[in-house]
């Protein structure tokens, strides 16, 4: 009888172990904190003053998340990801009234056919072009973003109500597509989004391209759909400069098109890259006007030692077509050095200089480095940060 009981217990333990091996849930996260200096920040009383700040996420947004997978057999898995961004300074969520503000999706992953997911997700500019730009990586991040992060390479907003597909690897090629529903009866295109992209990797060469379109009836007063594809708010956006009011990015324009491509090449410990993006905005801010913003970025990374990584980027940006904005041009130089204590913990120092030129009295004639609390009172701005980053 004892042998029978012991045999049964052993069988149950073995079955439980097998079930555990086929299903997993992982808690993960990243905490990034730094002390940031910037000059010329506009104050409520006017003029510009230097500012010392303790910043959460100077390079990468602080976050925590849960991801899981269940093996369904035959190379098929059920997967999910729930990810929440937070402000390390005060412990609050980075987006009010939204628990999993960065990602929240469930789907199926097939070894042979790719991955399809449903929920709040990143677009294909973020997936395929951003990894080739320093702002979309751990080697530059938030302050390295192109002006106003207008091309979203720094992942300033995500897509709600989204169905997303990513293909398996075909001899180095990968493809992706996304559609974000408006979820509005009688307003199928009112605040919807769609995106697609591709990448190719061959030895030291990496290439990526993407496209994102946002549609909204926001150009018509009273037609803003706050339950649609894009509902994030941001103060450091093009709209923030022109109107000083942050509203859903879906209301930025009647139509927003962003497309771009990038390439990088590795030579030993060095990686050099080029990125181009263009964003077209039509029916802007209920005015009927249109504009476009182009970004040209060159970047380089160099592993000085296994623990020391150096990176730098130069970005030239220009806007045109917006009446009264002065067709500004931006020059931005960014650099960063990091030292890794381990695979999970590192310290870094980074700096950014931005200069803008525009016609007199243009609202876009002042510099504003992404991630800083306020724009400069002049056409130039400098940022310097010393930070600590930990992953778990």
Dist. CA 196–CA 192, nearest whole Å = 14
Q: Identify the residue with better confidence: 153 or 46.
A: 153
Segment among 5-19, 70-84, 272-286, 350-364 with least mean pLDDT: 5-19
> What are the φ and ψ backbone dihedral angles of 112, each rounded to 5 degrees?
-100, -30
Count CB neighbours of 20 within 10 A: 9
Residue 4 main-chain phi, psi, to 5 deg: -65, -45
**pLDDT at residue 283 in the model:** 75
Q: What are phi and psi of 365, to 5 degrees?
A: -90, 5
**pLDDT value, residue 20:** 47
Confidence of residue 327 (pLDDT cuts 50, 70, 90): confident
352 and 369 in contact (C-beta within 8 Å)? Answer: yes
User: pLDDT tens digit string along 215-234?
Assistant: 987 656 667 788 999 887 54
Averaged over 339-346, what is the pLDDT? 98
Dist. CA 123–CA 158, nearest whole Å: 7
User: Domain boundaries in the chain?
Assistant: 25-391
Q: Which of 379, 284, 362, 275 is nearest to 324 (CA)?
A: 362
Convert the pLDDT of each residue in 253-292 to its tens digit. Answer: 788 999 999 999 999 999 999 999 999 988 766 566 788 8
Residues 6+ apart with CB under 8 A from 191: 182, 184, 214, 215, 216, 217, 218, 224, 225, 227, 228, 229, 230, 231, 248, 250
- Model pLDDT for residues 15-65, shown as the tens digit of each residue: 444 444 589 999 999 999 999 999 999 988 877 899 999 999 999 999 999
State the residue for tokens 């802007």: 284
pLDDT given for residue 32 in this prediction = 98
- CB count within 10 Å of CB 21 equals 9
pLDDT given for residue 233 in this prediction:
57
How much of the chain, in percent, has pLDDT values that exceed 90? 72
Q: What is the mean pLDDT of residues 129-147?
A: 97
> pLDDT band at 324, cuts 50/70/90?
low
The residue among 352, 366, 332 whose CA lies nearest residue 34 is 352
Give mean pLDDT, residues 183-199. Answer: 94
Q: Which residue is it, tokens 């005060």? A: 90
| 87-105: average pLDDT | 91
Report the pLDDT value the prediction gives residue 198, as an integer from 0 to 100.
Answer: 98
Q: What's the mean pLDDT when you consider all of the chain?
A: 88
Specify the CATH architecture of the domain 25-391. Beta Barrel (2.40)
pTM (predicted TM-score): 0.88
The rounded distance, in Å, linking the Cα atoms of 376 and 361 is 14
3-state per-residue secondary structure call for the chain: CHHHHHHHHHHHHHHHHHHHHHEEEEEEEEEEEEEEEEEEEECCCCCEEEEEEEEECCCCCCEEEEEEEEEEECCEEEEEEEEEEECCCCCCECCCCCCCCCEEEEEEEECCCEEEEEEEECCHHHHHHHHHCHHHCCCCCHHHCCHHHCCCCCCCCCEEEEEEEECCCECCEEEEEEEECCCCCCCCCCCEEEEEEEEEEECCEEEEEEEEEEECCCCCCCCCCCCCCCCCCCCCCHHHHHHCCCCCHHHCEEEEEEEEEEEEEEECCEEEEEEEEEEEEEEECCCCEEEEEEEEEEEEEEECCCCEEEEEEEEEEEEECCCCCCCCEEEEEEEEEEEECCCCEEEEEEEEEEEEECCCCCCCCCCCCCCCCCCECCCEEEEEEEEEEEEC
The predicted-structure confidence for 285-306, as pLDDT tens digits, reads as follows: 656 678 889 999 999 999 999 9
Most confident of 10-24, 119-133, 317-331, 355-369: 119-133
pLDDT at site 321: 72
- 92-116 average pLDDT score: 93
pLDDT value of position 362: 72
Residue 330, pLDDT above cutoff 90: yes
> Average pLDDT in the 133-151 region?
96
Task: State residue 64's pLDDT score.
Answer: 98
């Amino acid at each position: 009888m004892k042998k029978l009981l012991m045999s049964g217990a052993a069988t149950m333990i073995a079955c439980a172990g097998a079930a555990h091996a086929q299903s997993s849930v992982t808690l993960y996260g990243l905490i990034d904190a730094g002390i940031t200096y910037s000059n010329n920040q506009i104050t409520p009383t006017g003029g510009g003053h230097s500012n010392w700040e303790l910043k959460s996420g100077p390079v990468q947004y602080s976050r925590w998340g849960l991801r899981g997978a269940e093996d369904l057999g035959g190379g098929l898995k059920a997967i999910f990801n729930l990810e929440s961004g937070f402000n390390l300074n005060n412990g609050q969520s980075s987006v009010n009234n939204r628990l999993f503000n960065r990602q929240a999706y469930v789907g199926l992953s097939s070894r042979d056919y790719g991955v399809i997911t449903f929920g709040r997700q990143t677009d294909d500019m973020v997936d395929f072009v951003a990894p080739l730009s320093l702002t979309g990586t751990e080697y530059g991040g938030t302050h390295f973003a192109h002006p106003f992060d207008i091309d979203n390479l720094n992942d300033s907003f995500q897509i709600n109500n989204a169905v997303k597909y990513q293909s398996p690897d075909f001899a180095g090629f990968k493809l992706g597509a996304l559609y974000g529903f408006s979820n509005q009866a009688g307003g199928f295109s009112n605040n919807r989004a769609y995106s697609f992209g591709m990448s190719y990797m061959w030895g030291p060469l990496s290439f990526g391209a993407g496209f994102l379109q946002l549609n909204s009836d926001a150009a018509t007063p009273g037609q803003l759909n706050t339950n649609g594809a894009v509902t994030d708010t941001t103060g450091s956006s093009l709209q923030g400069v022109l109107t000083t009011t942050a509203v859903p990015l879906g209301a930025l324009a009647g139509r927003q098109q962003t497309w771009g491509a990038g390439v990088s090449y590795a030579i030993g410990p060095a990686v050099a890259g080029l990125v181009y993006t263009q964003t077209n905005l039509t029916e802007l801010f209920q005015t009927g006007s249109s504009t476009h913003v182009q970004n040209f970025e060159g970047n380089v990374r160099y592993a000085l030692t296994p623990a020391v990584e150096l990176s730098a980027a130069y970005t030239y940006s220009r806007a045109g077509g917006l009446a009264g904005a002065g067709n500004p041009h931006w020059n931005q130089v960014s650099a960063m050095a990091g030292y890794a204590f381990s695979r999970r913990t590192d310290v870094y120092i980074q700096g950014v200089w931005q200069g803008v030129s525009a016609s007199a009295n243009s609202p876009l004639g002042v510099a504003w480095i992404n991630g800083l609390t306020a724009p400069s009172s002049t056409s130039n701005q400098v940022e310097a940060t010393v930070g600590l980053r930990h992953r778990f």
